[in-house]
Amino acid sequence: MTVATPLLDRASTPADLRKLEKSELQQLCDELRTEVIDAVSTTGGHLGSGLGVVELTAAIHYTFDTPRDRLIFDVGHQCYPHKVLTGRRDRIRTLRQKDGLSGFTKRAESEYDPFGAAHAATSISAALGMAVARDLKGEADKEAPEQDDRRVIAVIGDGSMSAGMAYEALNNAGDRASQLTVILNDNDMSIAPPVGAMSAYLARAASSGSYQGFRNLAKQLTKNLPKRIKNLAAKAEEYGRGMVTGGTLFEELGFYYVGPIDGHNLDHLLPVLENVKNITDGPVLVHVVTEKGRGYKMAKDKGDKLHAVSKFDVISGEEVAKKSNAPSYTGVFAEQLINDAKRDEKIVGITAAMPSGTGMDKFMKAFPDRTFDVGIAEQHAVTFAAGLAAEGIVPFCALYSTFLQRAYDSVVHDVALQNLPVRFAMDRAGLVGNDGATHAGAFDTAYLGCLPNMVLMAAGDEAELQAMVHTAALYDEHPIGFRFPRGEGLGVDLYEADKVPELEIGKGRILKEGSTVALLSFGGRLGETLKAADLLAQRGLSATVADARFAKPLDEDLIRRLAKEHEVLLCVEEGSIGGFGSFVLEFLVRDGLLDQGQLKVRTMHLPDVYQDQASPKEMYEEAKLQAEDIARQAMIALGQQELAADVTA
């Protein structure tokens, strides 16, 4: 008996996919869904979102001429099916691993990824830019009409539609009237009327050539009528359709709305996309309703938990990654904030669509009326917090460091300039492992430290994080931020709930006294700095280890003492150039501590590159911020190159 070749083996590229019969596509999608589940169980990654767009992804590649037609996924965490279908199936089990496939779309990885993404709400802006570029090229080269029929498609989820940038792009695209297709993947908002045979029929009818022809004829017939009557006719058509299908908001923004469509029914999806491909008169928005985690019961039942996962058992859905006995920094932050909120009823928590990632889900359970999830809207989150602070509330704005970048103007203008005591809890500071460069918290010390009025702290261990949360809760003179890394703490003893200390602003601490080398750590490399001191001691070199705690204000007395009493001062941080080490150097110069030329100063920070994904250990080894790297740098500064060459942890 001959065994049929799996369809996925026959459709390794979109060109091959388009050779299949339409009747074969559902089987292909079933195989694709199984492939994604198996791959993510091996590597970890984003699961539910990708399973929800299997049929949609296959339908887009089947209908449109990718990569010539540009397909842009917003955020990109739903792109695993896309990667399997675009020649990367043989590498799909390298997802998020060192030298493997990125967990997001990435321009350097494939011609099928025309735009890289990992932060939300960028797709429509990028797609409009590409559409306008197509139009400009076509106008510039009249002998290259093939430029004119290139399609640009942006796939954006309902979550990303909570970000203001998406609406800015929609507004601009509607005004430009360039041909552009936006597919709204609605898997949670429930903004759609019931999806079924009638809505599918209406979507096909509204996108069909015959309806478009009738619509264009009506435009021609009304062209010479008075403007008032012509506008009334257009509004009547728009609202008549909007009353039946929805989408009036998008029509008002200048888009032709089609939908809602069942995103898992290929008999509905394919004809609509085929019709939409042939609409050349302005931008179109196709509203597709999907189910997150489709086809895998564990993903659907566990919801947000299987949005992003570690390695897991396919049968049970349980993660199999080895757990540390030390608590996570995120968990410590949440528990301490809850403890402080019990004491002070003015404390509130704010998150931007990341309640579980920031620990705000725990705070939300304890204080549902004092927790605000504003959606993917970091700029709004920060200014909202500023408004709360202006009225005497104590807001904790909990964001990943990488996402706070999106709200920088709000931090500058609405918080720091007005000196409002907003508390910034910056999770995922430093390198984040498998999420790679897009999620690394590399820049916050540099971009916040240059702002007047700002106070900046970094936790060297989980007990220090407790103290910093408590300190921020009590401090109301200036805006204050504290950064902490991803993952588990060092395993130090935590403070009892009623014995957490309030830190003196701008004061560090000495953990180990020495005489030759001063190791000054800021943040999450403190554990490696202590190990480096032990490596130096094994080689007869006495080292002081200090935890700076604050990048702004600096503990100038501490730094002055370290500079005067040691031959080498080594600053260690897990941030970019221009951060803590730069602040220390500027102080040393200003204070005249380098004038005699006797002190040897070195700074160790993240390299001036965007580091690709790998395990955290591999990334820090690449960054040369491990204990042996710190010890080696100290020995080199002392002129002991030969001794340094033999350093191993």
Same domain, 226 and 364: no
Asked whether residue 517 is assigned to any structural domain, the reply reads yes
pLDDT mean over 611-620? 94
pLDDT mean over 363-377? 96
Rounded to whole angstroms, the Cα distance separating 73 from 49 reads 12
Instruction: Give pLDDT tens digits for 224-251.
Output: 555 554 554 454 445 444 544 567 789 9
Per-residue pLDDT at 642? 77
Please give the helix or strand (H or E) that residue 544 lies within, else none: strand 543-547
| pLDDT(203) > 70 | no
pLDDT mean over 431-448? 95
| pLDDT(198) > 80 | no
Per-residue pLDDT at 343? 97
Identify whether 488 is a catalytic site residue.
no
pLDDT mean over 535-543? 96
Identify whether 292 is a catalytic site residue.
yes
Binding residues for Mg(2+): 158, 187
Strand (E) positions, 277-422? Answer: 283-289, 308-309, 347-351, 371-373, 394-400
3-state secondary structure 254-287: CCEEEEEEECCCHHHHHHHHHHHHCCCCCEEEEE
Same domain, 237 and 114: yes
Count of beta carbons in the 10 Å neighbourhood of residue 310: 15
Instruction: Give pLDDT tens digits for 128-161.
Output: 999 999 999 886 665 555 556 899 999 999 888 8
Same domain, 173 and 243: yes
Rounded to whole angstroms, the Cα distance separating 352 from 370 reads 14
Per-residue pLDDT at 246? 62
Take residue 150 and report the two structure tokens written for it. Answer: 């290139």
Helices (H) and strands (E) in the chain, counts: 28, 19
- The domain total for the chain is 3
Take residue 60 and report the two structure tokens written for it. Answer: 């887009």
Identify whether 365 is a catalytic site residue.
no
Asked whether residue 307 is assigned to any structural domain, the reply reads no
Per-residue pLDDT at 370? 98
Treating both helix axes as pointing N-terminal to C-terminal, what angle do 123-140 and 164-176 enclose, rounded to 10 degrees? 20
Same domain, 545 and 472: no
Same domain, 462 and 549: no
Per-residue pLDDT at 226? 56
Per-residue pLDDT at 411? 98
Kindly indicate the confidence band of residue 4, based on its pLDDT and cuts at 50, 70 and 90: low
Highest mean pLDDT (candidates 216-220, 226-230, 257-261, 617-621) = 617-621
| pLDDT(501) > 70 | yes
Asked whether residue 145 is assigned to any structural domain, the reply reads yes
pLDDT mean over 182-187? 92
Asked whether residue 500 is assigned to any structural domain, the reply reads no
pLDDT mean over 340-344? 98
| Among candidate residues 61, 31, 30, the one with its CA nearest the CA of residue 270 | 61
Identify the active-site residue in 294, 406, 483, 525: 406
Asked whether residue 309 is assigned to any structural domain, the reply reads no
Is residue 477 within 8 A of residue 452, CB to CB? The reply is no
Q: What is the pTM of this model?
A: 0.88
SS3 352: coil
pLDDT mean over 63-75? 96
Per-residue pLDDT at 212? 52
Rounded to whole angstroms, the Cα distance separating 251 from 239 reads 9
* Per-chain mean pLDDT for the chain: 89
Treating both helix axes as pointing N-terminal to C-terminal, what angle do 54-63 and 25-43 enclose, rounded to 10 degrees? 130
Amino acid residing at 530: L
Same domain, 99 and 224: yes
Same domain, 262 and 401: no
Same domain, 149 and 213: yes
Same domain, 32 and 161: yes
Strands of the 283-289 sheet, one edge to the other = 70-73, 152-157, 180-186, 283-289, 256-262
- pLDDT more than 90, % of the chain: 76
Residues 6+ apart with CB under 8 A from 282: 174, 177, 178, 179, 254, 255, 256
Take residue 561 and report the two structure tokens written for it. Answer: 């003492």
Per-residue pLDDT at 147? 53
Q: DSSP code of 311? A: S
Kindly indicate the confidence band of residue 465, based on its pLDDT and cuts at 50, 70 and 90: very high
| Among candidate residues 137, 150, 153, the one with its CA nearest the CA of residue 283 | 153
Same domain, 426 and 473: yes
Same domain, 177 and 261: yes
Rounded to whole angstroms, the Cα distance separating 429 from 408 reads 16
Identify the active-site residue in 88, 150, 277, 292: 292
Asked whether residue 303 is assigned to any structural domain, the reply reads no
Asked whether residue 436 is assigned to any structural domain, the reply reads yes
C-alpha 604: how far from its chain's center?
Answer: 26
pLDDT mean over 553-561? 98
Per-residue pLDDT at 599? 95
How does strand 543-547 pair with strand 568-573?
Answer: unpaired
Residues 6+ apart with CB under 8 A from 188: 158, 159, 292
Domain stops at, among 298, 318, 342: 298
Please give the helix or strand (H or E) that residue 228 lies within, else none: helix 227-245
Query: Residue 456 maps to which CATH number?
Result: 3.40.50.970
pLDDT mean over 603-631? 96
Whether a cis peptide bond, with omega within 30° of 0, leads into 501 is no
Query: Residue 544 maps to which CATH number?
Result: 3.40.50.920
Same domain, 258 and 353: no
Per-residue pLDDT at 202? 47
Asked whether residue 490 is assigned to any structural domain, the reply reads no
Identify the active-site residue in 35, 55, 251, 378: 378
What domain range includes position 555? 509-645
| pLDDT(640) > 80 | yes
